[in-house]
Amino acid sequence: MISWYTFQLEWWYTFELLFIAIRDNYINVYYKGQSLCKLAYCRDGKIKGETNHKYINKTLSKKTVNSYNGLICGTQHITSLDQVEDLINNAEEYALEEKKSSYGYILSNKSILDVEITFNATDEIKRSSIDYLEATIKQGKLVLNFYEAKHCSNAEIVSRTEPKVFEQLDRYEKYLISQEANIQSSYKLVCNNILDLNLSERFPLAKTVLEDNLSLVVNRLPYLIIFGESRNSDWNKHVAKLRTRLHDRLILKEN
Q: Identify the domain boundary among 92, 116, 148.
A: 92
pLDDT averaged over every residue in the chain: 87
Of 162, 187, 183, the closest CA to residue 172 belongs to: 183
Q: Mean pLDDT check: name the lowest of 9-23, 37-51, 200-214, 223-237.
A: 9-23
Q: Give the pLDDT of residue 2.
A: 32
CA distance 221 to 123: 21
- Which phi and psi (to 5°) does residue 118 adopt? -90, 130
Q: Could you report the per-residue pLDDT of 139-196, keeping only the tens digit for each?
A: 999 999 999 999 999 999 999 899 999 999 999 999 999 999 999 999 999 999 888 8
Q: Give the pLDDT of residue 16.
A: 81
Q: Identify the domain boundary among 92, 126, 153.
A: 92
Beta bridge partners of 225: 149, 251
CA distance 7 to 69: 11
Say yes or no to pLDDT of 36 above 80. yes
Q: What is the mean pLDDT of residues 222-231?
A: 95
Do 121 and 244 reside in the same domain of the chain? yes
Do 78 and 157 reside in the same domain of the chain? no
Do 121 and 192 reside in the same domain of the chain? yes
Do 58 and 102 reside in the same domain of the chain? no
Say yes or no to pLDDT of 64 above 80. no
Do 79 and 156 reside in the same domain of the chain? no
Do 71 and 187 reside in the same domain of the chain? no
7 against 16, higher pLDDT: 16
Do 85 and 122 reside in the same domain of the chain? no
* C-alpha angle 148-98-19 in degrees, rounded to nearest 5: 75
- Contact call for residues 178 and 125 (beta carbons, < 8 A): yes
Do 135 and 10 reside in the same domain of the chain? no
Domains: count for the chain: 2
Q: Identify the domain boundary among 92, 113, 133.
A: 92
DSSP string for 80-114:
BTT-HHHHHHHHHTT--HHHHHHHHHHHH-TTEEE
Q: What is the mean pLDDT of residues 198-225?
A: 93
What is the span of the domain harbouring residue 33? 4-92
Question: pLDDT exceeding 70 applies to what percent of the chain?
Answer: 87
Residue type at position 176 = L
Q: Give the pLDDT of residue 9.
A: 61
Q: Give the pLDDT of residue 50.
A: 86
pTM over 0.75: yes
SS (H, E, C) 18-53: CEEEECCCCEEEEECCEEEEEEEECCCCCEEEEEEH
Do 210 and 104 reside in the same domain of the chain? yes
Do 16 and 45 reside in the same domain of the chain? yes
* b/e code 154-180 from CB counts within 10 Å (16+ = b): beebbeeeebebbebbebbebbbebbe
Q: Mean pLDDT check: name the lowest of 61-75, 129-143, 149-163.
A: 61-75
Say yes or no to pLDDT of 126 above 80. yes
Q: What is the mean pLDDT of residues 222-244?
A: 95
Q: Give the pLDDT of residue 4.
A: 47
- Which phi and psi (to 5°) does residue 81 adopt? -70, -10
Do 116 and 129 reside in the same domain of the chain? yes
* C-alpha angle 195-85-194 in degrees, rounded to nearest 5: 5
Do 171 and 52 reside in the same domain of the chain? no
